[in-house]
Chains A and B, each alone.
Chain A
Amino acid sequence: MALMVLKTLEAMGPLHGYGIARRIEQISGDRLSLNYGSIYPALLRLEQERAIASEWGMSENNRKAKYYRLTAAGRKQLKQETADWEEASAIVARFLAAKESL
């Protein structure tokens, strides 16, 4: 979840919680259906880790909303976790391939 949030913020720029949840759902092609409420603990954790920062702002249709944006530390974390994830999935993929070739 943290990785998805960070990636979304990188791609979209500052965004509110609802927007992030929506976006994640869209990107996954609605294959990932999540409770929107569960995004907030994840956001808070990232904020506590100083990977993202938040401030209140106005939404496109003039609603007050809390906007989250990526910090420098967050960018670094994203790069790191992306690399980690790619490596991990590559390993798993190789395993699966190896099994088929047997």
Chain B
Amino acid sequence: MKALWRIWARVTGLFRKNWRDREMAQEFESHLQMHIDDNIRAGMSPEQARREALVKFGGMEAAKESVRETSRLLWIDTAFRDMRYALRGLRLNPGFATTAVLSLTLGIGASVAIYTVADNLLLRPLPYPDARQLVMLYEMNPHRGFARNVISPANYFDWKSQSSSFSAIGGFFDFHVILGDGKRTEEKDAQAVSGEVLPALQVKPIRGRVFTMQEDKDDAHVAVISYRLWQEWFGCDESVIGRQLQVNSRPFTVIGVLPPDFYFNTRTSDVWLTLGLNPADNLRKTQGRWMWAVARLKSGVSLSHARAEMTGIGQRLEIAYPEFNKGWGVDVVPLRDSFVGQAKTSLMILLGAVTLLLYVACANVANLLLARYSVRRREMAVRGALGAGRGRLIRQLLTESVMLGLAGGIAGVVLACFAVSGLVALAPRDLTRSVQITFDLRIVVFAFLLSLVTSIIFGLAPAIMASRGNVNRGLHEESRTSTGGGTRMRSWLVALEIACSVALMAGAGLLFRTLVGLQNVDPGLDEHNVLTFRVTLPSQRYKEEQKRIDFFQQATEELNQLPGVRSASATSYLPLNGIGAGTGVKILGQPPAKPGEEFVATIRTVLPGYFHTMGIPLKRGRDFNAADDVQSSPHRFIVSEAFVRKYLSGEEPLGKQISAWMNKENPFGEIVGVVGDVSDKTLDSEPAPTVYYIHSHLSYGEMVFVLRAENDALALADPARKVIQGIDSELPVSQIRTMETVVRQTFASQQFSAVLLGGFSLASLLLAAIGVYGVLAYSVTQRTREIGVRIALGAEPLTITRMVVASGARMVMIGAAAGLAAALALSGLMKSLLFGIGARDPLTFIAAPAIFVVVALVAAYVPARRAARVSPMEALRTE
């Protein structure tokens, strides 16, 4: 209570400074008068009386200051004064202020931008209640290199009945549907979910309800829609519940609307339907692995416990169903990890990179401050002589750096604001597919703290240094003659800058080399001038296989006729797109494989002309032709070279009979051709053995058309859409993109990191060059007289140049060596992003410091040349 009153009195005291001072002066005056009166009464002369009273009172000014100090919050007062003073100082020296603020803007802006992305992806809780309890359940087959694999519905039901760690396990998968409401027909992303999924996520629909377990079991024709769809299609109409929607040409009843910010696994889903699996079906016989599972841990059950339990269940299932489960196990992964996936590595690297950049920026500003303070040493000495304590001096200097820091911080936040939207646009799909990225108050608070901390980091050392000066020496010192401790410290700072920059540059170099390597990988096809788009036939209206076969034949024929089209065809899945179907393959005449070692191949179904259109080379035999694309033709297959290499080990492939397990019946058929390899996922992944079906024998209703254009592929998009809708006006055409885009997407994450890291390392290169230049230019100015003497004594200009450059070279070399060592130690972390080169790629590790040394020496040469031109007469006169 007492303390509170005192603080209150002091705060009010802030505003009544003048009144207080006057009152105090009056009080002291009356005190002295009374004392003098008493003294005179005691017999002193008035003169003597006054002196005695003053002596007895003690230091008048000290007492006043002490009262003042008691009367208000002194530090606020001084802080204001320091700030005014600092502002004045910075205004007087705009070059310094601008460089410092720009350095900090760059450092803080980059850090805040990357932190924003990392915060959203890695730190912020997912938008579900108790999101920590949510996990994904995956199957995995380490032996074959399948991690986080889709799961088998049969295993899913066994997990549900045998596990006790979870309060719910639900199955789902992402797909897309053709959605119509009578007025329009569009392709929309959809999610099929079992009855458990939405309750396990604890999402509360804002209108209506979610699926019941019974509806899931019956695969009822009910749909839950997104807030977005409710807005766009129904204008937020309250009567939406109970309305009909056409889903793939079948009527569904809308039963619920989910809240606006809800998403799960993908952010683009607009429709949720039931999964409708029946555990009574013999799913191990009829279905492979194709769906996902999410589960909620019972409260109190730890992740490791659940993982142990599921591993046990997986082992039991492996023994119980060897032909289906040999080699397969279960993995339990926290939901966030599964959403963020690969992006984590990129982000950690980028976080490390911005930290380095921030160090460089701080070191640069510290450097500038040191230079500035060394000029102000005399001012410091004067202040010291006038009674300013050392702490007081340091505080004054720190105020200045905090103001620089805050200015940089504010500019940095603005920069980051723009940078984040740029980052999101540039980011690889995986990074933003399942998590939303927003910029909010948290980030601003973070930026504020960051700028405070950085300003103390870069300000403290120079401030301590500057305040240390001996008063006497400081006053006497002629500013140009000494190179004191400040310069040594500045050299170390520059060396630090160089070390960080070299490390950054090495990282950027590795990624750029990877990128170049990836761009030079032969993708196995010619991706130029190829347009791709997807068409999905509604299963209801295209139930008969013949209808589907006819549609795609007719469409391909008509697309082939389009002006500007060289050739047209279609496939079930694009290569290099990360998705595809895989299945077991048998080869006639070979003994059946042991469980767990069956032949597995990627399956694509294609129309005639696919290889020609995509530029995939036909190595042997022939392509499919029109005669193959009829249901009555015998089964014929085309396989990839990897298939021949792996499963036929050098035997003559043509004429071999194989069977790929895709339909209910899979008769053996002849291999009629062999084509070059194309990867399914990324350019750097090994191409999987692939079997190509002709569409008539695996008549998917969803195909991706590929058109080879004479020149501009995208210009064909509109005419192609007209062709499709000319055949069936209700068919939406979706995912229109060029094959070049598809290929580029495969190295998007490397490109993303490389571009950013490249930008960071250029920025830090610039900062470090400024640092080298600054230190040397300053030391040349300081040594003007010495250099003048040397020249007067006959030193050649070349010798002088060499001397100055050499003094810079030392810090450059030390810095570069340290940076190289750090980079070598850290580059292992980037391994998973690299391709074609080792984490210690010699070229990168020679080039990065070499570039640096060259730039730094150029930066050193400029002041050195100036030194060589010093005229001795002028130099000696400067003092």
Q: Contact at A37–B58, with CB atoms within 8 Å? A: yes
Q: A18-B35, A37-B57, A37-B58 are in contact. Are A44 and B67 (CB under 8 A)?
A: yes
Q: A40-B24, A40-B27, A49-B6 are in contact. Are A35 and B67 (CB under 8 A)?
A: no
Q: Check if B589 is an interface residue, CB within 8 A of chain A.
A: no
Within residues 38 to 89 of chain A, which ones have a CB less than 8 A from any CB in chain B? 38, 40-41, 44-45, 47-50, 59, 61, 63-66
Closest CB in chain B relative to A51 CB, distance in Å: 8
Q: Contact at B5–A49, with CB atoms within 8 Å? A: yes
Which residues of A have CB within 8 Å of B24?
40
Which residues of A have CB within 8 Å of B67?
40-41, 44
- Chain A's closest residue to B13 (CB) is A48
Compute how far the CA of A23 lies from the CA of B475 in the bound complex, rounded to whole angstroms. Answer: 48
Q: Check if B70 is an interface residue, CB within 8 A of chain A.
A: yes
Compute how far the CA of A50 lies from the CA of B9 in the bound complex, rounded to whole angstroms. Answer: 10
Compute how far the CA of A35 lies from the CA of B67 in the bound complex, rounded to whole angstroms. Answer: 14
Q: A37-B60, A38-B66 are in contact. Are A48 and B34 (CB under 8 A)?
A: no
Which residues of B have CB within 8 Å of A47?
9
Q: Contact at A17–B27, with CB atoms within 8 Å? A: yes
Q: Check if A16 is an interface residue, CB within 8 A of chain B.
A: yes
Q: Check if B280 is an interface residue, CB within 8 A of chain A.
A: no
Q: Contact at B70–A41, with CB atoms within 8 Å? A: yes
- Chain B's closest residue to A49 (CB) is B2
Which residues of B have CB within 8 Å of A61?
34, 37
Q: Contact at B5–A36, with CB atoms within 8 Å? A: no
Compute how far the CA of A61 lies from the CA of B37 in the bound complex, rounded to whole angstroms. Answer: 9
Closest CB in chain A relative to B14 CB, distance in Å: 13
Q: Contact at B6–A37, with CB atoms within 8 Å? A: no
Q: A48-B10, A49-B2 are in contact. Are A38 and B33 (CB under 8 A)?
A: no
Which residues of A have CB within 8 Å of B70?
41, 44-45, 48
Compute how far the CA of A24 lies from the CA of B162 in the bound complex, rounded to whole angstroms. Answer: 88
Within residues 26 to 47 of chain B, which ones have a CB less than 8 A from any CB in chain A? 26-28, 30-31, 33-35, 37-38
Which residues of A have CB within 8 Å of B31?
16-18, 36, 65
Q: Contact at A66–B66, with CB atoms within 8 Å? A: no
Q: A36-B58, A45-B70 are in contact. Are A66 and B34 (CB under 8 A)?
A: no
Q: A37-B58, A40-B24, A44-B67 are in contact. Are A16 and B34 (CB under 8 A)?
A: yes
Which residues of A have CB within 8 Å of B484?
none
In this complex, the interface size class of chain A, counting residues with CB under 8 Å from chain B, is 20 to 34
- Proximity string of chain B (1-15) to chain A, C-beta cutoff 8 Å, 1 when within and 0 when not: 010011001100000
In-complex Cβ contact of B30 among A38, A48, A50, A64 (8 A)? A64
Q: Contact at A63–B5, with CB atoms within 8 Å? A: no
Most buried by A among B6, B31, B38, B63: B31
Q: A35-B56, A36-B56 are in contact. Are A41 and B35 (CB under 8 A)?
A: no
Compute how far the CA of A49 lies from the CA of B6 in the bound complex, rounded to whole angstroms. Answer: 5
Q: Contact at B37–A41, with CB atoms within 8 Å? A: no
Closest CB in chain A relative to B764 CB, distance in Å: 53
Q: Check if B62 is an interface residue, CB within 8 A of chain A.
A: yes
Closest CB in chain A relative to B27 CB, distance in Å: 5
Q: Contact at B33–A63, with CB atoms within 8 Å? A: yes
Q: A44-B70, A49-B5 are in contact. Are A37 and B62 (CB under 8 A)?
A: yes
In-complex Cβ contact of A48 among B9, B56, B59 (8 A)? B9
Q: Contact at A48–B5, with CB atoms within 8 Å? A: yes
Which residues of A have CB within 8 Å of B57?
35-37
Q: Contact at A63–B30, with CB atoms within 8 Å? A: yes
In-complex Cβ contact of B63 among A40, A59, A64 (8 A)? A40
Which residues of A have CB within 8 Å of B28?
37, 40
Compute how far the CA of A61 lies from the CA of B56 in the bound complex, rounded to whole angstroms. Answer: 21
Q: Contact at A65–B30, with CB atoms within 8 Å? A: yes
Q: Check if B605 is an interface residue, CB within 8 A of chain A.
A: no
Compute how far the CA of A48 lies from the CA of B62 in the bound complex, rounded to whole angstroms. Answer: 20
Compute how far the CA of A45 lies from the CA of B10 in the bound complex, rounded to whole angstroms. Answer: 10
- Chain B's closest residue to A62 (CB) is B37
Which secondary structure dominates chain B's binding surface? helix
Compute how far the CA of A48 lies from the CA of B72 in the bound complex, rounded to whole angstroms. Answer: 11
Which residues of A have CB within 8 Å of B5?
48-50
Closest CB in chain B relative to A31 CB, distance in Å: 16
Q: Check if B71 is an interface residue, CB within 8 A of chain A.
A: yes
Closest CB in chain A relative to B670 CB, distance in Å: 102
Closest CB in chain B relative to A90 CB, distance in Å: 25
- Chain A's closest residue to B62 (CB) is A37
Which residues of A have CB within 8 Å of B9?
47-48
Q: A44-B70, A49-B5 are in contact. Are A37 and B30 (CB under 8 A)?
A: no
Which residues of B have CB within 8 Å of A40?
24, 27-28, 63, 66-67
Which residues of A have CB within 8 Å of B37?
61, 63
Which residues of A have CB within 8 Å of B6?
45, 48-49
Q: Contact at B60–A65, with CB atoms within 8 Å? A: no
Q: Contact at A59–B56, with CB atoms within 8 Å? A: no
Q: Contact at A37–B63, with CB atoms within 8 Å? A: yes
- Chain B's closest residue to A77 (CB) is B2
Q: Contact at A38–B27, with CB atoms within 8 Å? A: no
Closest CB in chain B relative to A64 CB, distance in Å: 6
- Proximity string of chain A (1-45) to chain B, C-beta cutoff 8 Å, 1 when within and 0 when not: 000000000000000111100100000000000011110110011
Which residues of B have CB within 8 Å of A41?
63, 66-67, 69-70
Which residues of A have CB within 8 Å of B56?
35-36
Closest CB in chain B relative to A71 CB, distance in Å: 12
Compute how far the CA of A40 lies from the CA of B62 in the bound complex, rounded to whole angstroms. Answer: 11
- Chain A's closest residue to B69 (CB) is A41
Most buried by A among B24, B35, B63: B63
Which residues of A have CB within 8 Å of B26?
64, 66
Q: Contact at B34–A38, with CB atoms within 8 Å? A: no
Closest CB in chain B relative to A11 CB, distance in Å: 19
Which residues of B have CB within 8 Å of A35?
56-59, 63
- Chain A's closest residue to B32 (CB) is A18
Compute how far the CA of A64 lies from the CA of B69 in the bound complex, rounded to whole angstroms. Answer: 25
Closest CB in chain B relative to A73 CB, distance in Å: 9
Which residues of A have CB within 8 Å of B27?
17, 40, 65-66
- Chain A's closest residue to B56 (CB) is A36
Q: Contact at B34–A18, with CB atoms within 8 Å? A: yes
Which residues of B have CB within 8 Å of A38?
58, 63, 66
Compute how far the CA of A65 lies from the CA of B9 in the bound complex, rounded to whole angstroms. Answer: 22
Compute how far the CA of A66 lies from the CA of B24 in the bound complex, rounded to whole angstroms. Answer: 10
Closest CB in chain B relative to A56 CB, distance in Å: 8
Compute how far the CA of A45 lies from the CA of B37 in the bound complex, rounded to whole angstroms. Answer: 28
Compute how far the CA of A6 lies from the CA of B70 in the bound complex, rounded to whole angstroms. Answer: 18
Compute how far the CA of A61 lies from the CA of B30 in the bound complex, rounded to whole angstroms. Answer: 12
Closest CB in chain A relative to B58 CB, distance in Å: 3
- Chain B's closest residue to A60 (CB) is B34
Most buried by A among B23, B59, B66: B66
Within residues 57 to 89 of chain B, which ones have a CB less than 8 A from any CB in chain A? 57-60, 62-63, 66-67, 69-71
Which residues of A have CB within 8 Å of B62?
37
Compute how far the CA of A37 lies from the CA of B33 in the bound complex, rounded to whole angstroms. Answer: 14
Which residues of B have CB within 8 Å of A17?
27, 31
Which residues of B have CB within 8 Å of A44?
67, 70-71
Compute how far the CA of A45 lies from the CA of B31 in the bound complex, rounded to whole angstroms. Answer: 18
Which residues of B have CB within 8 Å of A50?
5
- Chain A's closest residue to B53 (CB) is A36
Compute how far the CA of A37 lies from the CA of B58 in the bound complex, rounded to whole angstroms. Answer: 6
Compute how far the CA of A45 lies from the CA of B67 in the bound complex, rounded to whole angstroms. Answer: 9
Closest CB in chain B relative to A17 CB, distance in Å: 6
Compute how far the CA of A46 lies from the CA of B613 in the bound complex, rounded to whole angstroms. Answer: 94
Which residues of A have CB within 8 Å of B59?
35, 37
Measured CB to CB, the residues of B under 8 A from A are 2, 5-6, 9-10, 23-24, 26-28, 30-31, 33-35, 37-38, 56-60, 62-63, 66-67, 69-71
Given A37-B60, A48-B9, 19 further pairs, Cβ under 8 A: A16-B30, A16-B31, A16-B34, A36-B31, A36-B35, A37-B62, A38-B66, A41-B63, A41-B69, A45-B70, A47-B9, A59-B30, A61-B34, A63-B30, A63-B34, A63-B37, A64-B26, A65-B31, A66-B30
- Mind listing 5 A-B residue pairs with CB under 8 Å? A19-B34, A36-B58, A37-B28, A38-B58, A38-B63
